[in-house]
Copies of this chain bind each other. A is one copy, B any other.
């Protein structure tokens, strides 16, 4: 049996004159793009450009909503009313749908950005806010989440499609959580190592901790980070190794249609 897997990355996080990541090249490697929606990064021009390039590369697109925080890049935790957060997420999904019209493609998933994702993983109110926004704007959207999080629970509670992801370029702890970035070696920058890990994870359908523990985890997508200088090389190596191992790299909707 041929295995299939999705690879996703955050994109469109530039802003006006500011450029971040290497979207053009990364779009040739991933099959799903999480597109910033203008509040933590990604103005309308950047969003449109990524949407066009995604279409040209047969990459599916998702909204990547974040806090209204361009100076903190959406990485600062902000406490706000969960109803206001919900509307902020709905606004961003709608905005990306508008921009997707330029490419004539559909927005097919949502993945929360940065501190919003982190907070909503453990805060049920925030998790439900994100899920409600999705359900209101387009209940066919796939919600891409960290497995086992409140985001996953809220999405199931609202009866929406949920996909989960594992990380190619980050190590895990024995408790299944990501190793904090402050710990040496938590970000994997060696393409060969990342590629080997990616194949193991997909073959075993498990995440593997720094300490070597295998934890069986269902996931539908592997996430790579384009803002690391080594991100493109890591993603490219991982994809090549996966394909070499007989894994077909597909879009998130294709993955979920299995």
Binding site for B on A (CB under 8 A): 14-20, 38, 41, 43-45, 47-48, 68-73, 75-80, 83-84, 87-88, 90-99, 101-102, 115, 136-138
> Contact at A94–B84, with CB atoms within 8 Å?
no
How many angstroms from the CA of A155 to the CA of B101 in the assembled complex? 18
Residues of B within 8 A of A71 (CB): 15-16, 43, 68
Nearest neighbor of A88 in chain B, beta-carbon distance: B44
Given the interface pairs A18-B20, A78-B76, A97-B97, the reply to whether A90 lies near B102 with Cβ below 8 Å is yes
| 24 chain-A/chain-B pairs, Cβ below 8 angstroms | A15-B70, A16-B73, A17-B20, A17-B75, A18-B18, A38-B91, A43-B71, A43-B88, A44-B84, A45-B84, A47-B87, A48-B87, A72-B80, A78-B79, A87-B99, A90-B102, A92-B95, A94-B95, A94-B98, A94-B101, A95-B95, A97-B97, A101-B136, A102-B136
Residues of B within 8 A of A84 (CB): 44-45
How many angstroms from the CA of A97 to the CA of B95 in the assembled complex? 8
Residues of B within 8 A of A96 (CB): 94
Partner of A44, one of B14, B19, B90: B90
List of 3 A-B pairs having minimum Cβ-Cβ separation, nearest first: A94-B98, A18-B18, A44-B87
Residues of B within 8 A of A68 (CB): 71
How many angstroms from the CA of A96 to the CA of B94 in the assembled complex? 7
How many angstroms from the CA of A216 to the CA of B115 in the assembled complex? 42
Partner of A94, one of B16, B70, B99: B99
> Contact at B70–A70, with CB atoms within 8 Å?
yes
> Contact at B136–A91, with CB atoms within 8 Å?
no
Nearest neighbor of A63 in chain B, beta-carbon distance: B98
Partner of A18, one of B15, B79, B90, B137: B15
How many angstroms from the CA of A84 to the CA of B75 in the assembled complex? 13
Residues of B within 8 A of A115 (CB): 79
How many angstroms from the CA of A45 to the CA of B82 in the assembled complex? 11
> Contact at B83–A45, with CB atoms within 8 Å?
yes
How far in angstroms is the closest Cβ of chain B from A130? 13
How many angstroms from the CA of A93 to the CA of B69 in the assembled complex? 22
How far in angstroms is the closest Cβ of chain B from A54? 15
> Contact at A99–B91, with CB atoms within 8 Å?
yes
Nearest neighbor of A17 in chain B, beta-carbon distance: B73
How far in angstroms is the closest Cβ of chain B from A47? 7
